[in-house]
């Protein structure tokens, strides 16, 4: 069954029957693991003379009361379910469900190997056209000598670089203000969490009793901290008008030259943020054709790896497919770069990518490129990537913590190298895909962690939910999961 599941996993678009059969077999496998875990826990329960804490005695008594025959019955039931799945496999003629005519897979999956044991992700050049856009936003914020509060809302769909632009402006200007903060206010972020983070950044030291404060208390404390000060606040990814209405209550409107930057995908939110004549909605447009190709080339080639003489037409085609969206260009560049290293033949890279894009032609925009990049990953890397959906957008995930969690979950197959070395190679491989972004320490030339872009996080969270791999509490509020929560 495991081998058959592997075949389906390496197929890019199995039909409905294959998907349903896979789901049922996977659930039987999960139930088997649960059954064995409970049995092992029962057998390893502490002896009566070890006197566990009173709090756990009732739980241990209940666990030890389970009888071995009950486990025998469960194993029999699970065996019958596996037999039924095997019969369905034969009945529906799914023998060839692992065949993939477009993207061939070897023992590791579509990508022939998890190539990098070392990081090949070098320090990236700055985003094309970012300097010009940064100065435009700075001019909107600081263009005259008026001392009243001013808001600029950067608006556009996901992947255009709104957060990157806001971050550039923030680092350009923050030294001119008495206090400053950069906070996230996305869809799954509780507004109290956003306010607490803002208060923590603008305060001199950690305010007493911060974690126990109610929302109204945090707002009051924020107003007191910012009153009579010149401040710069960036609020990233506001997704609902109600979020801005609450945050605005915490930001005093004094005549001290304070500035606020917001980013949002929703035009009505941008309008709400900018309701005064001095405020500005800054539309985040796509890159032009020249800038798109320049960004793509800069992320694939360098002084050592020069573009092949016949690559110009293909790069033009890819730039058009990416439609001027920087995130799409960067992810596609990651795929092209690693396929060029793997295949060592630019023509083969062209054939691979174009056939893959044709396969996902029904998808729109950046999702087509994300699916192509994801489908190219080796199977263990897919699992490790999906696991990142448990973390919030732009959360700085510590490298060591992540690798040991992968290992504890059993995502890193056994091999000659240590679990840490194999996990580190997976971490580096995912960074090289550009599906995750590295985080560097002050004095480190190697990443100490990573973050996940919001658009990519939504993509992998969607895949995780479909696979019943990870289900967030926000999803549980909307609908009960079809299968048992794992």
Q: What is the secondary structure of 174-223 as a DSSP string?
A: GGGSSEEEEEE--TTS-HHHHHHHHHHHHSSSPPTTGGG--HHHHHHHHH
- Sheet of 150-155: strands edge to edge? 179-184, 231-236, 259-264, 150-155, 280-283
| Residue 109 domain flag | no
CATH number of the domain that 238 lies in?
A: 3.40.50.300
- Please indicate, yes or no, whether residues 388 and 353 belong to a single structural domain of this protein: no
Q: Burial level of 410, CB count in 10 A (0-12/13-18/19+)?
A: exposed
Which tokens is 137 given?
Answer: 């936003």
- Please indicate, yes or no, whether residues 304 and 401 belong to a single structural domain of this protein: no
Bridge partners for 280 per DSSP: 152
| Residue 121 domain flag | no
Cβ 320 vs Cβ 289: under 8 Å:
yes
Ramachandran bin of 434, using left for φ above 0, alpha for ψ from -120 to 50, beta for the remaining angles: left
Which tokens is 308 given?
Answer: 């092949």
| Residue 298 domain flag | yes
Nearest residue to 122 (alpha-carbon basis) of 342, 349, 302, 344:
302
Distance of CA 199 to the CA centre of its chain: 26
Q: How confident is the model at residue 107, as a pLDDT? A: 39
Q: How confident is the model at residue 108, as a pLDDT? A: 38
- Please indicate, yes or no, whether residues 208 and 237 belong to a single structural domain of this protein: yes
Q: How confident is the model at residue 234, as a pLDDT? A: 97
Among the residues of 1-113, which ranges form H helices? 2-10, 16-43, 54-64, 68-91
Q: Which domain holds residue 20?
A: 2-91
- How many domains does the chain contain in total? 4
- Please indicate, yes or no, whether residues 161 and 277 belong to a single structural domain of this protein: yes
- Please indicate, yes or no, whether residues 273 and 144 belong to a single structural domain of this protein: yes
| Residue 367 domain flag | yes
- Please indicate, yes or no, whether residues 139 and 249 belong to a single structural domain of this protein: yes
| Residue 398 domain flag | yes
d(CA 96, CA 8): 10
Q: How confident is the model at residue 187, as a pLDDT? A: 78
- Please indicate, yes or no, whether residues 343 and 318 belong to a single structural domain of this protein: yes
Measured CA to CA in angstroms, residue 448 lies from 263, 397, 405, 429 at distances of 27, 9, 15, 15
- Please indicate, yes or no, whether residues 161 and 272 belong to a single structural domain of this protein: yes
- Please indicate, yes or no, whether residues 148 and 258 belong to a single structural domain of this protein: yes
- Please indicate, yes or no, whether residues 14 and 66 belong to a single structural domain of this protein: yes
Which tokens is 131 given?
Answer: 């300097």
Q: What is the pLDDT of residues 331-364, one digit of tens each?
A: 999 999 888 888 878 889 889 898 888 888 777 7
d(CA 358, CA 319): 16
Q: How confident is the model at residue 21, as a pLDDT? A: 66
| Residue 308 domain flag | yes
- For the chain, the straight-line distance linking the first and the last C-alpha, in angstroms and rounded, comes to 19
d(CA 304, CA 477): 52
On whether the pTM is more than 0.85, the answer is: no
- Please indicate, yes or no, whether residues 357 and 387 belong to a single structural domain of this protein: no
Sign of the C-alpha dihedral computed for residues 138, 140, 142 and 144 taken in this order: positive
Q: How confident is the model at residue 428, as a pLDDT? A: 93
d(CA 391, CA 307): 37
Measured CA to CA in angstroms, residue 5 lies from 23, 82, 97 at distances of 9, 13, 10
Q: How confident is the model at residue 79, as a pLDDT? A: 82
CATH number of the domain that 423 lies in?
A: 1.10.10
- Please indicate, yes or no, whether residues 263 and 182 belong to a single structural domain of this protein: yes
Cβ 379 vs Cβ 109: under 8 Å:
yes
Q: How confident is the model at residue 464, as a pLDDT? A: 86
d(CA 325, CA 161): 8
**Close Cβ partners of 122 (under 8 Å, ≥ 6 residues apart):** 302
Where the chain has pLDDT below 70, the residues are 1-21, 43-68, 88-128, 145, 205, 303-304, 444, 468, 470-486
| Residue 120 domain flag | no
Nearest residue to 362 (alpha-carbon basis) of 22, 13, 9:
13
| Residue 483 domain flag | no
């Amino acid at each position: 069954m495991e081998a058959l599941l592997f075949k389906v996993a390496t197929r890019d678009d199995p039909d409905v029957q294959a998907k349903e059969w896979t789901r049922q077999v996977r659930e039987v496998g999960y139930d088997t693991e649960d059954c064995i875990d409970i049995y092992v826990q029962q057998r390893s329960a502490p002896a009566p003379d070890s006197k566990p804490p009173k709090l756990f005695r009732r739980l241990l008594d209940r666990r030890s009361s389970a009888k071995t025959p009950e486990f025998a019955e469960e194993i029999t039931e699970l065996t019958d379910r596996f037999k039924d799945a095997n019969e369905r496999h034969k009945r529906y003629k799914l023998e060839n469900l692992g065949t993939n005519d477009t993207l061939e897979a070897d023992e590791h999956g579509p990508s022939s190997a998890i190539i990098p044991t070392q990081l090949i992700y070098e320090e990236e050049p700055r985003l094309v056209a970012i300097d010009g856009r940064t100065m435009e936003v700075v001019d909107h914020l600081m263009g005259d000598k008026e001392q009243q509060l001013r808001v600029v809302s950067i608006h556009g769909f996901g992947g255009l670089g709104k957060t990157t632009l806001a971050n550039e402006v923030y680092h350009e200007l923050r030294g001119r203000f008495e206090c400053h903060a950069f906070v996230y206010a996305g869809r799954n972020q509780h507004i109290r969490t956003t306010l607490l983070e803002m208060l923590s950044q603008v305060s001199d030291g950690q305010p007493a009793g911060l974690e126990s404060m109610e929302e109204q208390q945090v707002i009051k404390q924020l107003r007191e901290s910012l009153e009579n000060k010149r401040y710069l606040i960036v609020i990233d990814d506001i997704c609902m008008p109600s979020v801005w209405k609450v945050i605005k209550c915490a930001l005093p409107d004094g005549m001290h030259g304070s500035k606020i930057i917001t980013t949002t995908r929703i035009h009505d939110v941008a309008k709400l943020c900018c309701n005064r004549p001095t405020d500005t909605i800054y539309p985040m447009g796509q890159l032009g054709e020249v800038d798109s190709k320049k960004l793509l080339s800069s992320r694939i080639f360098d002084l050592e790896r020069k573009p092949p003489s016949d690559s110009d037409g293909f790069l033009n085609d890819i730039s058009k497919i990416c439609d001027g969206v920087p995130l799409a260009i960067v992810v596609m560049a990651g795929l092209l770069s690693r396929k060029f290293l793997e295949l060592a033949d630019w023509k083969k890279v062209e054939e691979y990518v174009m056939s893959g894009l044709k396969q996902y032609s029904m998808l729109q925009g950046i999702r087509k490129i994300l699916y192509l990049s994801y489908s190219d990953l080796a199977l263990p890397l897919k699992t490790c990537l999906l696991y990142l959906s448990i973390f919030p957008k732009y959360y700085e995930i510590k490298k060591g913590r992540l690798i040991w969690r992968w290992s504890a979950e059993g995502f890193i197959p056994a091999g000659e190298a240590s679990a840490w070395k194999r996990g580190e190679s997976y971490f580096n491989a995912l960074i090289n895909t550009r599906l995750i972004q590295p985080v560097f320490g002050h004095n480190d030339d190697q990443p100490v962690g990573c973050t996940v872009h919001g658009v990519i996080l939504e993509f992998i969270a969607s895949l995780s939910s479909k696979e019943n791999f990870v289900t967030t509490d926000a999803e549980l509020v909307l609908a009960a999961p079809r299968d048992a929560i794992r």
